[in-house]
Amino acid sequence: MKTTVLLHADEIARVLDRLACQIMERHGDCEQTVLLGIQRRGVDLAVRLGKVLEDKLGRKLPFGTLDINLYRDDWTTMHARPTIGESNITTPLDNKNVILVDDVLFTGRTIRAALEAILDYGRPKTVELLVLVDRGHRELPIHGDYVGRKINTARSEKVNVLMEERDGRDEVVLESA
């Protein structure tokens, strides 16, 4: 197996800072902004992003989590079935600017399922998507509004997102067979 480091720890930190600045460019003081992380590493990223924004804004943004799993036979067959698990959204979403946060955007099916799940919690004013990596291969009209890195990948490849709190180090690695 061949592995290529796409983002080192310091680059991940810089990317998150840039994405936080882009959020503030669009949403100013983020008064109506809610961060929703998608389990598991999307939640880790949303927590990180929340801290960066808190440093810049001087207050915490409301935060929630969504658990959406796609079961696929393997990375090359896309008969993905979303399973919506436990979500933890205690903050109201009505009329809010929701920012969904996930680690990798691929076919778009997880985000489609997330949009459906969100509607059970209210009617946001806007929903945007932030991803650390967009690896292409979209099967639905879904795009990232805030994208850390856009990378051309083969379907058979995999992007490994390692997070310090979960994996012991921050790194994004491309794995090819």
Residues in contact with ligand 5GP by the rule CB under 6 A? 38, 70, 102-110, 135, 158-161
Kindly state the DSSP code that residue 62 receives in the 8-state scheme: P
Residue 114 Cβ vs ligand 5GP, minimum distance, rounded to whole Å: 9
Based on CB atoms, which residue is closest to ligand 5GP, 108 or 122? Answer: 108
Q: List, in order, residues 6 or more apart from 54 with CB less than 8 Å away.
A: 60, 61
Task: Using the minimum distance from each CB to ligand 5GP, give the nearer residue, 15 or 30.
Answer: 15
Nearer to ligand 5GP, 34 or 38 (CB): 38
State which H helix or E strand residue 116 sits in: helix 109-119
Our CB check for ligand 5GP shows the closer of 53 and 129 to be 129
The minimum distance between CB 6 and ligand 5GP, in angstroms, equals 11
Return the closest-CA partner of residue 144 out of 173, 117, 113, 104. 104
Minimum CB distance to ligand 5GP smaller for 12 or for 30? 12
Query: Alpha-carbon distance 22 to 32, whole Å?
Result: 16
Instruction: Find the shortest distance in angstroms from Cβ 94 to ligand 5GP.
Output: 25
Q: How far is the CB of 96 from ligand 5GP (least distance, A)?
A: 22
Under the phi-then-psi rule, with left for phi > 0, alpha for psi from -120 to 50, and beta for the rest, what region is 35?
Answer: beta
CB of residue 107 to ligand 5GP, shortest distance in Å: 3
Instruction: Collapse the DSSP code of 46 into the 3-class scheme (helix H, G, I; strand E, B; otherwise coil) and give the result.
Output: helix
